[in-house]
Amino acid sequence: MVSPSDDYKKKVIKRYDGFSKYYDSLDTGLVQTTVERRKKAVGLLNVQPDHIVLDVGTGSGLVLPWIAKKLISGKVYGADLSTGMLEKARERLTPDIVDRVELKVEDIEAMTFDDDFFDSMIATYTLTTVPDPWKMMRECYRVLKPGGVFVMLDTGPPSKKRGIPVYLWMRLSAILFGYTKINRRLEDYLPPGLVIESEERFYGYTVYLTVMRKIK
């Protein structure tokens, strides 16, 4: 029997496989600030030359080259369930960085990586898409090394009341777009031992850039 979560997951995969050919045009081609925020998120990772980094739900792999260029002996993994999106990500791997990037078909709710494997990780607009955000966050906690940093860029309910009009418009757009649940609050899914160190808000206080750290 297919569980509701499995059925949802298949629909998400189908959606992103279909979107893969023009995803970048929709997601970043029309909104330059989306690119700028992702670059800022990568900067907050504080990547060192030997680090092992995970891009959770990498999609078309926009951030992978920015991370890979900071590495020498390290590696960045791009994990996603959509093979169509991973193929788009592969197109970004220029000869100078290809050896420092590994793309993997991974269910980020049940990853195959060992415990305490990554020095840092990043997730951009992923929490709002996964079927079970608690499972995602628990897995991210498991594979992150103690002391490791987890940077998340995503959308959610506004932190201030004056952001409500923008939030309601964005939520309607998300419902029409399908399989994007921006009513989720990151704080509701934090496993014990993963703490928020800083947060910055944009776009009517609905887009957040949050830095977390695994303290145990």
Whether the Cβ atoms of residue 13 and residue 81 lie closer than 8 Å to each other: yes
What backbone phi and psi angles, to 5 degrees, belong to 61? 70, 30
Cα-to-chain-centroid distance, residue 165: 25
CA distances from 20 to 15, 16, 53, 90, 108 (A): 9, 6, 23, 12, 19
Decide which of 144 and 81 is more confident.
Answer: 144
Whether the Cβ atoms of residue 30 and residue 24 lie closer than 8 Å to each other: no
Position 37 pLDDT exceeds 70: yes
Position 20 pLDDT exceeds 50: no
**Rounded Cα–Cα distance for residues 1 and 159 (Å):** 40
**Beta partners for 105?**
80
Decide which of 10 and 191 is more confident.
Answer: 191
Q: Give the confidence band of 216 by pLDDT, cuts at 50, 70, 90.
A: confident
Position 194 pLDDT exceeds 70: yes
- Whether domain 4-214 has CATH 3.40.50.150: yes
- Any alpha helices (H) in the chain, and if so which ranges? 4-19, 23-24, 32-43, 64-68, 83-90, 133-143, 164-177
Percentage above 90 pLDDT, the chain? 63
Question: What confidence tens digit (pLDDT) does each residue in 86-101 have?
Answer: 999 999 999 999 999 9
**Rounded Cα–Cα distance for residues 60 and 83 (Å):** 10
Handedness of CA 65, 205, 163, 206 (dihedral sign): positive
Domain boundary assignment for the chain? 4-214
**Average pLDDT for residues 54-60, to the nearest whole number?**
94
Question: What confidence tens digit (pLDDT) does each residue in 147-177 have?
Answer: 999 999 999 998 888 888 888 888 877 766 6
